[in-house]
Amino acid sequence: MTGLLESALADLLGRFHAGQPAALGQAISLVEDERPGFQDFLHEVLGGGPSAARIGFTGPPGAGKSSLLSLVAMNYRAQDEELGVVAVDPTSPYSGGALLGDRIRMSDLATDPGVFIRSMATRGLLGGLATTTKEVLDLMDAFGFDRVLVETVGVGQTELGITAATDTVIVVLVPESGDAIQAMKAGLMEIADIFVVNKADRPGADRLVKDLRQGLHLRAATALESSSAHHDFDPARIINKSGKELNKLAWSPPVLSTVAQSGEGVEDLMDTIKAHRLWLGESGELEERRRVRQRVQIQDVMDRELRRTVWHSDAVLAELDQALDRIKKGKDTAYSVAGDILDRLLR
């Protein structure tokens, strides 16, 4: 790490620190395309550490994540907060295409100068999406937004990994998206800080709310057995608690009901996000989560650098072609070839 940036990047860094939105957009492209010096740029920018409140929205396609995110965003805008929004969804309404019907709200957001929206195209089979997306969150954080909101489809591993890089994870479900057992199997119970059953005016919504609560109670009871320090609490009352009391409390994910279409239940959601933020800070959990995130990021960066080093080496690429011929003849396998290359590469 030289600490010296090329003059073009030094110029970008200056405009980034000056708070120019165009510089943020250029910085994101720099990182997305892994252009020369992008690691140095990130190193320069991220020294200050995270400060924005990061809120993730995840759940199956069609659950209304975008609508809910927009409503939440508009609430923060009414409080004059500045927002970064990242959408990781190949079929997201943000990523181009017509904004029609109830999606009109998002086009309001898109033209609001206090909101910076970036859509991460998954571009088919491209790898490394999770690492890059987390770096985009970091860039938005470093740029100085009060909050960074993220939307992922939340079905695949990559998407779950991105969601884990936020402070507050909101899992959005609808009666049509399947039952509570499916949510448990998909690993959503482990990552959810807040459950939202959206389209709560539809048949089956009450049942889903009830089942989710039951599933969460079962899970909490199991956790209680292995840890006597666990105490349940009512998130709605947390705002009135003192820090000392909060320290002793574990967070039990509440299950809320909303109708994004009419705005019903969104006020409750805002209160619950606020309560969770308070708990994160007072309990020491925020610091812990950020430390875990840093550890994962070091691993992500090292893995990527290793890949870049290895697969950009002419010697390795030449060896690879010969190896494929040997594999075809049955003289080698991917395992012997990988072992040989590694032996020579590592000290």
Does 51 contact a copy of itself by CB under 8 A? no
Judge whether 162 and 54 are in contact, CB under 8 Å: no
Give the binding range for a copy of itself (CB under 8 A) out of 14-22, 176-184, 195-203, 256-264: 176-184
Does 113 contact a copy of itself by CB under 8 A? no
Encoding tokens for residue 286?
């925020």
Does 342 contact a copy of itself by CB under 8 A? yes
Does 305 contact a copy of itself by CB under 8 A? yes
Residues 156/159/161/167 CA torsion (nearest 10 deg): -140
Which residue spans within 214-310 are E strands per DSSP?
A: 255-257
Nearest distance, CB of residue 115 and a copy of itself, angstroms: 23
Does 239 contact a copy of itself by CB under 8 A? no
Output 43 or 213, the one with its CB closest to a copy of itself: 43
Nearest distance, CB of residue 162 and a copy of itself, angstroms: 10
Binders of a copy of itself in range 319-338 (CB under 8 A): 320, 323-324, 327-328, 330, 333-338
Residue type for position 306: L
Query: Contact with a copy of itself (CB under 8 A): which of 18, 48, 237, 244?
Result: 48
Sign of CA dihedral 132, 137, 140, 143: negative
Minimal CA–CA distance to 277: which of 289, 264, 266, 291?
A: 289
Output 1 or 78, the one with its CB closest to a copy of itself: 1
CA dist list (Å): 73 to 11, 58, 84? 31, 15, 9
Does 1 contact a copy of itself by CB under 8 A? yes
Does 310 contact a copy of itself by CB under 8 A? yes
Polymer length of the chain? 347
Query: Contact with a copy of itself (CB under 8 A): which of 10, 307, 315, 318?
Result: 307
Which H/E stretch holds residue 296? helix 285-311
Q: What is residue 48's DSSP assignment?
A: G
Output 231 or 333, the one with its CB closest to a copy of itself: 333
Nearest distance, CB of residue 257 and a copy of itself, angstroms: 22
Does 301 contact a copy of itself by CB under 8 A? yes
Does 129 contact a copy of itself by CB under 8 A? yes
Does 263 contact a copy of itself by CB under 8 A? no
- Give the Cα separation of 347 and 343 in Å (integer): 8
Does 8 contact a copy of itself by CB under 8 A? no
Output 17 or 274, the one with its CB closest to a copy of itself: 17
According to DSSP, the residues that pair with 148 across neighbouring strands are 54, 84
Binders of a copy of itself in range 62-91 (CB under 8 A): 62, 90-91
Judge whether 238 and 251 are in contact, CB under 8 Å: no
Residue 80: CB partners within 8 Å, gap ≥ 6?
A: 114
Judge whether 105 and 71 are in contact, CB under 8 Å: yes
Specify the pairing of strand 147-152 against strand 168-173: unpaired
Query: Contact with a copy of itself (CB under 8 A): which of 10, 306, 315, 318?
Result: 306
Does 346 contact a copy of itself by CB under 8 A? yes
Give the binding range for a copy of itself (CB under 8 A) out of 51-59, 119-127, 206-214, 260-268: 119-127
